[in-house]
Structure 1
Amino acid sequence: MQGMIEALVQVRFQVIALAIGTLFLLVSFFQVKDIAKLDIVPLAAPVYPVALVGLGLVVLAAVSTLQTPAMAFPVPAKRRIRITSDADSVSTRIGENELSIRLGRIEEIAGDPSCALIVLPANEYFNGTCLSDTRSAAGAFVHAHYRGRVADLERAIAESLAGMPAQIVKINGKETRSYRLGTAAYIDRPLEGNFHLLVAAATTEREGEGLRADPVALALIARRASTVARDRRLSTVYLPLLGAGHGSIKPTRALLAQLLAWSEILYADAYRRIGINVVVFRADDKSPPQVSLREAAHLLRIAVSVCEPTST
């Protein structure tokens, strides 16, 4: 701090010396008749003593500038982004938080249920279509942990959605509730289980269009998951690659959208100490994942770099 103060004083001296020296040089060679009209004419005989003083001050300012310690004004170095990896994951730290991408199945990867929030995608109607389809992330998870109890889980989700804004629409001649994308229902350890679930509307479903996801909804779901995890004091979040299955978003785009959303959230609360795990589907060790680890590491670096605060 003392070095910085001394440097500031030195810079102030340099500026003053340069200004006075320039002024002396000007008045030693020119006569200012009207400064407002910039009416300046050369002197018939230059005033050399004044010119020498002005030149000396300019030289002194220049020499003093060259001698100012560069380290007196430290520029914060750009934070080095460190990506760690193993056979089936890549991760980085954002403050005290960890953002990870894991290859595998969410129903197998999800950790300690007592402190983890599991995010499962649903369509805008929150009906049993997604929960019973074992080809989807939500269906696979429900089949593994709530086999034969889809209807009971649906009722628990419906109770959680009570009072949330919805629109009545007709599907195949039947009226049903349609919720906005990003709407999420939190179920606290349903059906006497241990998992904390957040079932979120990640896709629309229209006749003639099928299921479609929206990257904006992915960001809304991430923020909702972050809030629920904080309120429930859960230290870990597991979520699949939302929108990349039936949602028709290219897997790399879906992954980047989720990483950007989570990077923003974690940078805004760098000392929170939460672990976010985006699970990229891979059927087994011999099958290719939706996104390779190399691509995942590249996208993770991009997201963390883009969202990095400009000041610390």
Structure 2
Amino acid sequence: MLIRSILNNLVKISALRKINKLKKYKEVEKIIYLLSPEHGNLGDQAIAIAIKKFLIDHYKNKEVIEFSYLEYMYIKKRISSISNDGDIIFLHGGGNLGNLYINEENLRRDVIERFEKNKIIIMPQSISFSEDNFGKIEIEKTKKIYNNHKNLYIVCRESKSFETAQSIFPNNNVILSPDSVLYLSDYYNKSPLRSGVLLALRSDKEKVIDDSRVNKLRGILENLEENLVFKDTIINKRVNEKNRIFEFEKILKAFGSSKLVITDRFHGVIFSFITKTPCIVFKSLDHKISEGIKWFNDIDFIYYAENDSENLSNVINNYLNMGNLNVDEKLKMEFINALQKII
């Protein structure tokens, strides 16, 4: 607790210093990217890298300013000292629009209320509110705040969230786009020697795959005499703007040096796609996988094992023996084309 308190104080000091340095941009129209992550979820960090790169690539003549969700907590009452009504606000994407990650949702609501005159774009998100009383209460709060904003754009990263958003946010602009990380489709161009199988499986509240299924997979792979590596896309350390690229490239190297990836994480699928690594995918708690996987229907090295398929052993064997794979920029272009409609 003491270490966390010290780290949070350092974030606070850094955020306040950043605000003071940026006051000179008060009257300049700029891009403000808010609520980026400071935790060890490398899927979220990859989203941050992709969003930041996209903003810098697109807004070549504007200053792009970033504040993480921790920084925003400390400077939200002072952010008016650097912002004006002409600034465009971009909010972090991912899978936390709903009540499963209520702290993130509360911060997003705060931004939307605080920047009532600005154009705000929520980058590609999955939407999920639980069916219990908590979820019903929170969805009404979100609906009220979002619908009250006159210039809010909500980008959804799969069709179920898109349909939900169209239903509950009738006053907002809703569009469909692939996940932000697909903007990095051409990021990884290495061709390392590959060996073994990487299992990137959840151990958090979104886990669905049980130990018996994992043991079945292990048995199949051990019979094929394949070395197994267990590596989650979440690491137990703080990751922020300073070290996110290092950690992202490290996880890509792990994926890219494997012959096969087995995962139930959506960004495990995308990391496999970027590194041209055959991938077998299992569902997660909500619709992130079952809906998000549809973007990859035409990708012949990504297999969605919706159920315990009878031919899973054959799929594994075939995927282990795939040759060199290619990735085109179709999904990257779909992301760009979707965003260009609203920016």
Same-fold call, TM > 0.5?
no
TM value normalised by structure 1 = 0.22
Higher strand proportion: 1
TM value normalised by structure 2 = 0.20
Q: Which has the larger radius of gyration?
A: 1
Instruction: Work out which structure has the larger RCO, using CA pairs closer than 8 Å and 6 or more positions apart in sequence.
Output: 1
